[in-house]
Chains A and B, each alone.
Chain A
Amino acid sequence: MLTWLSLLVLALFSGVAFAAGRRRAVASAGGRSRVLHSLPVYYGTYAALWAGAPAALLLLLGASFGGRIEDAMLQSSRPAAVQALEPDRQAVFYSDAHAIASKQPPSEVAYEGELKVALDAKVAEAQRIETVLNVGMLAGAGVLALAGFLLAFPRISTEFRARNRVEGWVSILLIGCSVAAVLTTLGIVLSLVWESWRFFQSVNPISFLFGTEWSPQIAMRADQVASAGAFGAVPLFAGTFLIMLIAMLVAAPVGLYSAIYLSEYASRTVRGVVKPLLEILAGVPTVVYGFFAALTVGPLFRAGFNAIGAALPAGPLATYLMEVQNQMALVAGVVMGIMLIPFVSSLSDDIINAVPQSLRDGSYAMGATKSETVKKVVLPAALPGIMAAMLLAVSRAVGETMIVTMAAGLQAKLTANPLDTVTTVTVQIVTLLTGDQEFDSPKTLSAFGLGLTLFVVTLTLNIVALRIVQKYREQYD
């Protein structure tokens, strides 16, 4: 609130600076604006930028990091009564102190005796810190705004190159925006690596990557935290791989054949109808696919297998089939495959269309049929590109979350049976991080370990695939 108010004041001041700068420029030219180096509006903008931008930046930084600074200062001294608490209770204590100080509802924990005293003290301290921070921030912003204006205003004269200066500001803004993309990557890498690092301090990375038992719920008990078996991610990798494989078995042939048909056989009308329809399939949110998998495909497959089991002569297979559950790997895999069909098809379509027509003509002129041309000339020529498209699809399948969360199970099983329940990396991340969580336990931190693995795998797939595609494009450009 305070930030918004001060930003508003700052905007007003900036507007005043604009008017003043413009006026001074026009005045210095004696009213003949042609004498000026730049248009008057640039002089105004120049003054306004110096008056507004640095102070606004300070205010925004203060709004983003003020809470953090306050917390750090608040926790720099810990009363003995608080130190006696468990670490997560301590965190609650501080967040309550913070909340009461900023007049927000605290948690429902009741504080008594020494703790109550400590809490009251901390609340008072928090209020003090907040006041100091706010006053400091406002004063800083005021000084910056004034200084900026005083710096810029006297420089305005007929000779002054205001347009170039303003354009300098513009390019700083532009560069800043492009760096945002890099910062996002940096943010992803740093946050994943940092939290994973904390996770790997309690769990050995080797046993995480190669362990075959995954049961983070059990591992919550203190005596099992370090036990190697509980955080072995191999069953998750296996489950992810199994579902990805099933998905690709559906998506690769259907997507590739559709792409071939659309680019080589279909008339313009058919293309014009089918392509937008496939795009609809691509635009459907994944949560919808998840719903479809969980409530339509799952029960359908289960009923189907149960019926087959009932029809078979009694035996272990029949018994097994009759007991198949909704949440099988096959269901999630098939629905994910459906989701990937338009993805594979549109990528392959692009790749196939990039094969020069002259190669097709060469083949037709030899008396090859269309299918011979496709199979023996077009596809071999497009092979690298199609491989890359498949890699991108695999990357999508590995990172897909909602379908598996809704349709695959939670049981970490090491199995290759598509009728069995498996779990995946993404399902586990969701399960570990939804609901109430205490952030420092290895259980929640393990989600970041999984996230890092997922990020590295998909990034590698993407980089390889994009390189192949790029080389492929260059070949035919």
Chain B
Amino acid sequence: MTDATLGAAAPRQALTAADARLKKRHAAERRFKAQGIAAIIVALVFLVVLVGRIVSQGYTTFEAHTLTVPVYLNPDRIDTSDLSGVNYDYIVAEAVMKKLNVQDDDLGTISTKVQDLVSRDFGFQILNKLKADPKLIGQTIELHGPLKADADLYFKGEIKRETAEGDRKLDNQQLDWLDKLEKTGAIKSGFNFAFFTSSDSTEPEQAGVLGAVVGSAMMLIITALIAVPVGVLAATYLEEFAPKNRWTDIIEVNINNLAAVPSIVYGLLGLALFINWLNVPRSSPLVGGLVLALMALPTVIIATRSALKAVPPSIREAALGVGASKTQTVFHHVLPLAMPGVMTGAILSLAHALGETAPLLMIGMVSFVPGVPEGFTGAATVLPVQVFIWENASERAFHERTAAAIIVLLVFMIVMNAAAVILRRRFERRW
């Protein structure tokens, strides 16, 4: 009876025959595969759009337009008793107006409009020169410096003449002046070295990443000095020495969970513990490094443990067999063999710490720091936080710089990740 049912239910078909049902099944197969491919494509498109968008927004920063102009240091305008109080911007404006062959009117509208084109950096240059050598007063000196961000954007095509005059930052007259200056060869374009040699500033054309890069480096040094040794030693203990009991189980579960605690919670810990309780200076690379060290610790431990696990037991047995103590076995043989894996893991967690932002906001690293940090306890900012600060700025030129700072940040991260990959490829041992 059942045999009959079975035979009826299973019609024999030729191996090559495809009935309607089979066609449907294969169609479902193709659909499923297509969905998988679509998912991958979606993910990769996101990646391309993300990276492409940042590069396209940021690369223009690496080009800057500079102005070279002879400036007459008019003794009538410079009060030698108060050099810092002199309106140098006007002196620079006069020089540019002379170059442009225009006269200021009584209200100073022309000079104000000229000042909108030239960076205040010129004024600082004059001040510094005069401080060094007051005898320059009355002479004409050649000055070289950046244009104001809006003028720079005009040459980069971000501000267009076609835009209605009221909708752009610069009016037609200002654009005419810029064209004229360019024609005379006073304005030139070149690589924006200033972006790498200056720190944060309220003026976009003077803002650079140097302070943030140095701050990041100092912070990472602290993080590395704490997280790597402590993490490696802790992992060594847990993997090689610890007895298997409830306590070590708790430590293990604890480490796995710590690795998944949101980073902002570490920021709260840093605020309550390091700043309010231990009085570590706010905004300093020290406190930032401490917080990131606590954050990186679990990942360093996990990476070290898997590197130690990969060392075969035969190595330990061999060392113990020639009479080495447990400690000697671990520190002379096992740990050195695991070192490439350990270093790879450590670099990757440091690269991750480099990009971390949220906990640093909690410990006061969002402050405006116009310079390179003075030391490990001085106020500092770091690259990702600099990105956050600039992103909040309203000027369009800062958005360009934000993207450029991101490019710098990503380059650092790529270098670190590449180092980790090379280390792994170069020294990885297959047992």
Contact = CB atoms under 8 A, between A and B. Distances in A.
B40 A261 contact: yes
A337 to B, nearest CB: 9
Given A191-B269, A371-B32, A402 B44 contact: no
A180, A288, A295, A296: residue with the most chain B Cβ atoms closer than 10 Å: A288
Interface in B391-421: 391, 399, 402-403, 406, 409-410, 413, 417
B161 to A, nearest CB: 23
Nearest to A296: B53
Interface string B325-351: 111000100000000000000000001
A257 B391 contact: no
Given A181-B254, A261-B37, A429 B327 contact: no
Given A392-B260, A399-B262, A188 B269 contact: yes
B399 A295 contact: yes
B327 A177 contact: no
A170 interface: yes
B26 A369 contact: yes
A170 B265 contact: no
B268 A451 contact: yes
Interface in B35-63: 35-40, 42-44, 46-47, 49-50, 53-54, 57
Contacts of A68: 277-279
B217 to A, nearest CB: 16
A371 B262 contact: no
B46 A286 contact: no
A179 B378 CA distance: 30
B242 interface: yes
B298 interface: yes
A405 B267 CA distance: 15
A398 B260 CA distance: 12
B422 interface: no
Interface in A119-161: none
Interface string A188-218: 1001101100000000000000000000000
B49 to A, nearest CB: 8
A200 B273 CA distance: 20
A434 B242 CA distance: 42
B427 interface: no
Interface string A428-451: 011001110001000000011001
Contact of A345 (B43, B236, B276): B43
B40 A174 contact: no
A372 B403 CA distance: 46
Interface stretch (B91-99, B133-141, B311-319, B356-364): B356-364
A167 B36 CA distance: 55
Contact of B261 (A164, A188, A392): A188
Contacts of A277: 44, 47
Interface string A169-192: 011011101111110110110011
A181 B248 CA distance: 12
B143 interface: no
Interface residues of A, number: 93
B36 A292 contact: no
Given A181-B251, A287-B387, A433 B362 contact: yes
Contacts of A262: 40
A109 interface: no
A447 B268 contact: yes
Given A290-B388, A448-B268, A462-B260, A181 B255 contact: yes
B297 interface: yes
Contact of B43 (A64, A281, A459): A281
B234 A181 contact: yes
B257 interface: yes
Contacts of B277: 68, 191
Q: Which of A65, A188, A264, A370 has the most CB atoms of chain B within a 10 A radius of its CB?
A: A188
SS of A interface (majority) = helix
A385 interface: no
B174 interface: no
B38 A429 contact: no
B265 A185 contact: no
B310 interface: no
B219 to A, nearest CB: 14
Contacts of B402: 291, 295
Contacts of A64: 278
Given A68-B278, A342-B43, A167 B327 contact: yes
Interface in B268-300: 268-269, 271-273, 276-279, 294, 297-298
B301 A181 contact: yes
A435 B258 CA distance: 28
Interface string A102-123: 0000000000000000000000
A316 interface: no
A371 B257 CA distance: 35
Given A261-B33, A285-B354, 16 more contacts: A167-B327, A177-B230, A178-B242, A181-B258, A184-B269, A185-B258, A192-B272, A254-B39, A258-B40, A261-B37, A288-B387, A291-B403, A341-B43, A341-B46, A369-B25, A434-B364
Interface of A: 64-65, 67-68, 71, 163-164, 167, 170-171, 173-175, 177-182, 184-185, 187-188, 191-192, 194-195, 253-258, 260-262, 264-265, 274, 277-278, 280-281, 283-292, 294-296, 338, 341-342, 345, 369-372, 374-375, 392, 395-396, 398-402, 405-406, 426, 429-430, 433-435, 439, 447-448, 451, 454-455, 458-459, 462-463, 466
Interface of B: 25-26, 28-29, 31-33, 35-40, 42-44, 46-47, 49-50, 53-54, 57, 229-231, 233-234, 236-238, 241-242, 250-251, 253-258, 260-269, 271-273, 276-279, 294, 297-298, 301, 325-327, 331, 351-352, 354-358, 361-362, 364, 366, 384-385, 387-388, 391, 399, 402-403, 406, 409-410, 413, 417
